Each structure stands twice: as C-alpha cells, then as structure tokens.
Structure 1
Amino acid sequence: MRAHRYLKALGQVGAAMTLGIGLSWPVTASADTLADALVGAYNHSGLLDQNRALLRAADEDVAIAKAQLKPIIRWSGGLSQSFGDRRTDGTFASDTSVENLSATINLIGELLLYDFDTSKYRIEATKETVLATRQALESLEQRVLLRAVSAYMGVIEASEFVALRNNNLRLLTQELRAARDRFDVGEVTRTDVALAEAQLAQARSGLAGAEGNLLRAIEEYRNSVGRAPGQLRAPPNLPEIPRSIDAAKALAVRTHPDMHAAQHQVAAADLSINSSIADMKPKVRLTGRYGLTENFDSDAHSHVGSVGIEVGQTIYQGGALSANVRKNMAQRDAQRANLHVVRHNVEQAVGDAYAQLAAARAQLEASDGQIRAARVAFRGVREEATLGARTTLDVLDAEQALLDAESTRVSARAALYVATYSVLSATGQLTAQDLGLPVQIYDPAAYYNLVKDGPVLISKQGQKLDRVLRALQKD
C-alpha cells in the first residue's frame, strides 16, 4: 500500500507537544518535522551517492558488451632501418652494402559478423546485472530512510527522558526538603532524610546518563540526516500498513527490491551460461587492411589494401572453455539458492517488524494504565505521608514507580513508530517516491539511456554525456 498520502501532511502537522533539546547547543528557530529529516537523509547520504556511482559503472558494462558487435578500427605504424652486406653468386657475383630506411603505416578494421549469439547473451546478462544493481540501490535507500526515522525518534525519546529526569529531580528535591523539615520537628528519623538524599543522588546520576544518551542520539541524527537537530515536532499519525502479516509477506515477496535484485541475478547467471556455451563455437569476422610503405633511400613504395572474411574457432585451450561453462553453472545454482535465502529473509523481516509493532502497541496501552494508577498512587502516598501514615521510603518508591511507567510509555511510543516504518521497509514501500518526499528523485535510467550505446565524445550524445559527468563531479 503506497504511503504518500500520510506523508504529504508531515510538514503541516501541528506541534501538540514541541520537544526542546534542553542542553547547551544551538537550535533553529523553526521546528523540524519527520519529513524534514527524511529529506535531509535522502539528500545527504554518502551511501546513496556511492551506490549511484556503482550503478553508473554497471551501466557502462552494457556499452562495453555492445561494443563487441560494432566495427573495430585501429592503426599501427613503424620505422625500420636495414643495414649489412649482401653477396650474390654466379658469373656476375658482387658484394653490395644494404642501407635502407623505411616507414610503414597500416589501417586495420574488423567487424564481428556472427558468433552464435555469444555477444547477445553477454549484453542481456549485463542488462540484468544493471537491473539488479538498481534494485540494490532502492533497497539501500530504504535502509537510509529507516535509519533517519530511528534517529528522529531517538532524539525525541532521549529528549523526553531528559525532561522526565529533570522533573523527577525537582520532585525529589522537594521530597528531601520536606523530609528535612519533618526531621527538624521530629516527625521522621535521620534514616528518612538519608533515603531522600540517596534517591536524589541517584536521580542526578540518572539525569547525567539521560543527557549523555541524548548527545549520542544527536550525533546519530547528525550522521543520518546531515545536520544537527533543532526542535523536533511530535511525529505525525502512523502510516497505513497491511492489516495482516500474511498480506504483508505476500506484498514483500512481490515488491521488495531485494527479491527483484535476486531474480535479476538468477537471470544474469542463466544468460552467462548460454554465452559461455556459444563462446566455444566458431566466429565469423569481416576484416580489412590498408597499408603504406615508403622507402627513404629510393623511390620504392607500396600502397596495398585487402578485404576478407575470417572464420575461426578455438578447438582446445587447456580445458578453459569447458571450465568456464561449469563455473557459470555453479554461479547460476548459487544465485538460485540466494533467491531462496532472500525470500525467507524478506518474510522474516516482515514477521520481525510486526512482532516489534505488536509488542510496542501492547506496551504502550499497558503503560497508559500504569501511569494513571502510578500517578494516583503517588499522590495518595504523598498525602498519607503528610498525615504520618506513610514513610518517606513509601513516597520515594511511589515516585520511582511513576517515573518507570512514564519512561516505559516514552520508549514504547518511539518503538511503535520505528516498528511501523520497519513494516514499510520490510514490504518495500519506504522509498522517497512512495513517501512523496519533496526531493529530486534520482532517475536510475537517465544515465543508462545516455551511455547504453557507447557514444563517442565528439557526437551530440557524447557532448551531452560530458556535461552530465561534469555536473556529477561538481556535486
């Protein structure tokens, strides 16, 4: 199910709860949304740039394979100096000195006429490899975007933990002050004060740990998105996902880029077998040659050309040709086994994402009830403590129970969002195009269309390609 409908509103979702970072680093004036983070990750990722370059390299393999069916024109030249003595026999025997300087230049042309489709199979195999590389790029794009979602929710989660720890520290400071006041009037013992002091020290330690976790979350965000987070808005409504695991698994098997990549790799391996078998058969070539020879010590010269058809076949090469066929068969079997593995991995990823989603939902629902009960209990215990019916330890335990419940809800809410987007990734729908992100979508076919026929630099297509390459280098 396409997800662009819910993400179009990402930038417009109201901030019912705007979360500040809370420590001493600069923040932007306007709050960042989840869509902003995803756009930043898509535009910033060096992994995407790296694999786009690898895809362009695979595109060039198609042009290289096609070149085998095009004319090959080359030239050669040489300069030679002859020297020595020559003696002739017979009635008029004589000795002559040989001194001769000559230059030659040859123009040679070749054209493959027929090779039992060896080149054709190789071309089709490289095309399948290009398609597999495109799918690998799409799969990587999903991992980049999912990491951005995790980083975004990680900063929100860590920020809320810091806020909870600060609030807990304020409450425990009040409890310690109250315990000391009650100790001064003889209502509690020194033990109660010590308990409050210990709990406050533990709260300070917990706050320091939460602030450290927040700093690490910020670094993860910076690495994933390309900039430090400002104020982050609360995430939007959860995206729509398939209702059942079975439906999601069926969708993933049909649409996930890892599945498509594995299928193209199997097809490329099959074509490589056909190519290696055909490579054992004869080849027919059209050849042409034109040469010039000039003698600098005499008027002798020659201008000679020839055109002909050559037929040839390798009969024996130490078993290399047969070994290449068997090698390609083994690689085909390996790719088929890999397709089997990928299918199960894709299905497992869907199951894992739904399991994580179910756990987060259950934990979130339970934490809501736990928070309500813990809040009522804390207020009641604190009130009873003022009347002498509860000890300071009871109050501290109730406060800790409330903090634990609120922390559980924070973690469950972050896990719920990450799990939901993990379902999208596991089913192959977490791409910039599926999400409707306002970015310049990378077109994997654009470069391929420019280079698939191997344009030379002086052609119109070659000059257009040169401009594209210069633009890529500037980036």
Structure 2
Amino acid sequence: MKRAWIKSKQAAQVAVLTVTTALGGTVAGVATADTLAGALSDAYKNSGLLEQNRAVLRAADEDVAQAVAALRPVLSWAWDVTRQFGTQQSAQTGNVAAGFNGTSTTLGLSASLTLYDFGSSKGQVDIAKESVLATRQALVSVEQNVLLQAVDAYTRVRTGAETLALRQNNVRVITEELRAAKDRFDVGEVTRTDVAQAEARLAQARASLAQAQGDLVAAQEYFLAAVGRKAGNLASPTRAPISAKNAGEAKAIAQRNHPDVLRAKHEVAAADLGVAVAEASMKPTVNLTGRYGLTENFDSSDYSRAGSIGVQASGPIYAGGRLASVVRQAIQRRDAARSALHLTTISVAQDAGTAFANLQVARAAREAGDRQVRFAQVAFDGVREEASLGARTTLDVLNAEQELLNAKANLITSVANEYLASYSLLANMGLLTADNLRLNVPRYDPAEYYKQVNKAPAAVSAQGRQLDKMLRRIGKE
C-alpha cells in the first residue's frame, strides 16, 4: 500500500518538474526555437494589411504629383477630317439647285499656363503634402496593430502549449492517484467512494486536456494568420520591455509620439489650407494661352495656317451662392479637424494611462501567481505525505492537486498577460514599430516613392521610366 503512494508521489514530482521547465522556457531545442523577435519580423514582412496601406500611401503621393502638374503648362492637340456635302440654290448658282462637296482636315495645338490664381494651385499642393504626411502616420498605426497582433498570437500559442503540457501532466498524476486508490481499496484501507472520486477527477482532467488541445490548435491558426507562417517551437520571451516609469510619462510620450495624434495634426494643417484655397476660388485667375492650327482642303490647293497668343483673366461674379457655401464648408471642416485633434489627444492619453495601469495589474498578478504556485506546491506535498500516513483522504489529495493545477494555470495566463500588456503599452505610446524594436527586417521607406513622384515626372522622361521599373518591382514583392 505505501509502495503505491510512493510511486504516485514520484510521478507527481516528475510532472511538476516538466511544467516548471515549460514555464521557464529551458526545454531542449530552445537554441533553435522561434523567438518573439522572429515572429514580429515575419509579421512585418508577410502582412498583407501593411502592403495594402503602403499602396494607399503611394496613391496619396500621386495626389502631390497631380497638384504640382496644375502649376505647369498644359499642352494639347486636336485633329479632325471633315467631309461636307449638300445642295445649294442662290443667285450665284442662277437660282438653280447645285450640289457641292468637299473634304478638309484641321490640326491644332493649344497651350495654357496659370500665371496667377491667388495661391489656389499652390495651396492644393500643400494640402496634398499634408495629406501624405497624415497617411504616413496612418501606416505607422497599421504597423503597430500588425505587430501587437503578432505578440498576441505568440503569447496565445505559448500559453496554449504550456497549458496543454500542464493538462497532460495532470492526467498522468491523477492516473497514478487512481491506481494508488485502487491499491488501497484492494487492501481495504479506502472505500469505493475514494476510487469513484479519483475516477471522476480523471474524467474531468481528460475533458480539460481535450479543451487544451483544441485551444492550442485555434491559437496556432491565429498565429498563422497574424505572422504569415506556422508556429514552431516557440521560445519563452525574454524580459518584458519597460517603456515608461509612470503613467504621467506614458501619457506625455503618447501625446507627443502616437501616430493617431500626429495624423490628426496633419489633417488640421490640411484643413487650414483648405479654407485658404476655398477663399481663393472666389478671386480671379490669370492664364497665358496659345494656339496654332493648320487647315487644308483636299479638293483644292487652299490651306491656312494661323496662331495666337494671349493673356486671359477670368473670375466669378455670381454662382448661385455655391462659392460662399464652399468657404463656409471649409471652415466647418477645419473646426471639425481641430476638435478631432483635441479628442484624439485626450483618447490617446487615456489609453496610455489605462495601458500602464493594466501592466501594473498584470505584473502584480504574475508575482502573486508565483507565490500561489510555490505555496500550493508545499500544501500539495504536505497533503500527500499526510495521506500516505492515513491522516488525509483521497479527496483531500485530489483537492490539493486541483488547487496546484489551478495555480499553475493562472500563472501561465498571468505571464502571458504581462507580456501582452507591456507591448500594448508600447503601442499606446506609439513605440511599437519595427524601428523602435530594432527588428531585423528590410525597412519600408515611405519617402522613397514620394521622392520619385513629387515633381510629377512625365511618363516619357527618364524618371518616369524609373518609376515604371519601381512599380514592377513592387508588384513582384
């Protein structure tokens, strides 16, 4: 009888050692295991969402090129061939109906250049530039979300794997408990009730094991979607990053650095410029125009060549109140953008403060979990010793084992929550980027495409051909 209890105790000690090893991340093969940095790098490289928003940014860059083009001369051509035919009766034909026909062609060139429009075209360029800067910050915000999702996926798989190992060990331990209970029942030291209690607890442990297996599969699928590849043997992350000493510092950094705040500031600048552009639309525009044309009659040797050049000034007198409405609308949009900046600043500070508080709670929970596991282990060992001497029942042992299991499961969750909370704080401060994390990835330069298009190169120019090559390269990536 005592031999059975000793054997069960040894099995339990082996199980505890296995779980502790899993929590510590010192299992064999960690040297070649996937790291959190590796998962973040792969998420950055494989994210379709980042690619989508990079394309959105490149489209915004083209708005600058189009606005710049409005400041340059516009040259166009037109060509037509006209066949004329009909019947004419007049004094010249002796009041007799006579038919006529003829074919002529005309080729014309025209050019125009805006000389002065009270800053309207220049304002459109500045608005486009501010919009590009706002879109860049939106891309940073997407990058933070992608990386935070990767951290979440990594911790979920780690938690799932550790929980599965814990549940497997629990099944082994309770199996030994059941075997020992049966041995004691055979010698008449316990009743059938003790055996039934152990069997019920084993059934519960197997159900929990099945749930843990399902949770791990779901976490692995989430990892695949977030990182772009399957999860391997994930190493335990190193020390959680420390980004702020207190809530005040976290809020200050967030208000100064968060991409949502920076984007809102650029949107305010664009809205301010929009008011000036709307007011300029009510003022005159001065254009330089030029034309040259050739007309030739195929039925005779008649032809004409003519050209003209001139300066044209035009402006609105009355447009049914539309222009005044446009100005008022621009003012309201500016006021709305300013209010949005104010609200965004408040929201970002609140989120940063909340994230800092969540991190403190997660750290406290992890420290309490460490103590809970330590004391639950002592209690479990004591109950087992007392049960081997007949001072405790099988139910006492099973309850102590369940408390130890719960403590270890809570610790696994607490460790994962602390890591996720630390990276959430980074994101809320605007620091969860590939640059700040120093990820080993090829960085996407948001200014590279802008530098190629901000001067509005023509398609036939050398820079235009270089742009075509860049677009083909981007399409293959």
TM-score by length of 2: 0.92
Deviations 1:100-138 (A, max 9, x none): 211111111111111010011111011000000000101
Instruction: Say whether residues 1:443 and 2:445 are aligned partners.
Output: yes
Aligned counterpart in structure 1 of residue 381 of structure 2, from 359, 364, 379: 379
In the TM superposition, residue 85 of structure 1 has moved relative to its aligned partner by 3.2
Aligned partner (choices 207, 210, 213) of residue 208 of structure 1: 210
The answer on whether the counterparts of 1:64 and 1:454 sit within 8 Å (CA) in structure 2 is: yes
Task: Specify the SS of the correspondent of 1:397.
Answer: helix
Kept after mapping to 2: 8 A contact 1:19/1:231: no
Q: Cα offset for 1:316?
A: 2.2
CA distance in 2: counterparts of 1:162 and 1:324, whole angstroms: 63
Partner of 2:20: none
Letter in structure 1 aligned against 2:25: M
Runs (4+) off by over 6 Å: 90-94
Q: CA deviation at 1:462?
A: 0.9
Aligned partner letter, 2:101: E
Cα deviation 1:216-275 (Å, max 9, x = unaligned): 111111111111111111101222311010011001101111110000001111111110
Report the CA distance shift for 1:341/1:19 in structure 2 as closer, same or farther (over 3 A).
farther
Say whether the 8 Å CA contact 1:18–1:231 is kept in structure 2.
no
The equivalences for 1:36-47 within 5 A come to 36-47=38-49
88-97 or 184-193, larger mean C-alpha shift: 88-97
The alpha carbon displacement at 1:317 in A equals: 2.3
Pair 1:91–1:359, CA change in 2 (3 A): closer
For structure 2, the residue ranges without an aligned partner over 5 or more in a row are 1-22
Query: Hey, what's the Cα distance between the residues in 2 that align with 1:180 and 1:461?
Result: 85
Q: Is the 8 A contact 2:102 2:297 kept in 1?
A: yes
What code does the residue aligned with 1:215 have? V
Following superposition, the deviation at residue 86 of structure 1 comes to 3.2
Letter in 2 for 1:317: A
State the match for 2:125 in structure 1. Answer: 123
Verify: 1:434 aligned to 2:436, yes or no.
Answer: yes
Q: How does 1:273-312 map to 2 (within 5 A)?
A: 273-312=275-314
| Number of equivalences | 455
Higher mean displacement: 453-462 or 264-273 = 453-462
Contact 1:19 1:232 in 2 (8 A): no
Shift of 1:88: 3.8
In structure 2, the partner of 1:9 is: none
The alignment partner of 1:289 has SS state of strand
Aligned match for 1:17, one of 15, 25, 32: 25
Contact preservation (8 Å) 2:44, 2:143:
yes
Q: Check if 1:146 corresponds to 2:148.
A: yes
Aligned partners of 1:16, 1:359: CA distance in 2, in Å? 21
C-alpha distance in 2, partners of 1:166/1:90?
113
Query: Structure 1 residues 240 and 88 mapped into 2: Cα distance closer, same or farther (>3 Å)?
Result: same
Q: What 5-or-longer segments of structure 1 have no aligned partner?
A: 1-14, 21-26
* Identity, % of aligned positions: 52
Question: Aligned equivalents of 2:190 and 2:394: distance in 1?
Answer: 8
Whether 1:314 and 2:316 are equivalent positions in the alignment is: yes
Specify the code of the residue in structure 1 equivalent to 2:322: A
The one-letter amino acid paired with 1:380 is G
1:69 is paired with a residue of what secondary structure? coil
Do the aligned partners of 2:30 and 2:235 also contact (CA within 8 Å) in 1? no
Distance in 2, Cα, partners of 1:142 & 1:50: 15
User: Is contact 2:117–2:280 with CA below 8 Å preserved after alignment?
Assistant: yes
Q: Is the 8 A contact 1:18 1:232 kept in 2?
A: no
For residue 306 of structure 1, give the secondary structure of its aligned residue in structure 2: strand
1:32 aligns with 2:34: yes
Letter in 2 for 1:120: K
SS of structure 2 residue aligned to 1:358: helix
Take 2:64 and 2:26, find their aligned partners in 1: how far apart are those partners? 52
C-alpha RMSD over aligned residues: 1.8
Number of the residue aligned with 1:340: 342
Compared CA separation, residues 110 and 86, structure 1 to 2 (3 A): same
Q: Aligned partners of 1:438 and 1:265: how far apart in 2?
A: 32
1:183 pairs, out of 162, 177, 185, with: 185
What letter matches 1:376 in structure 2?
A: V
SS at 1:119 equivalent? helix
With normalisation by structure 1, the TM-score equals: 0.93
Partner of residue 401 from structure 1, selected from 355, 379, 403: 403
Cα contact 1:19–1:156 (8 A) shared by 2: no
Preserved contact between residue 19 and residue 234 of structure 1 (Cα < 8 Å): no
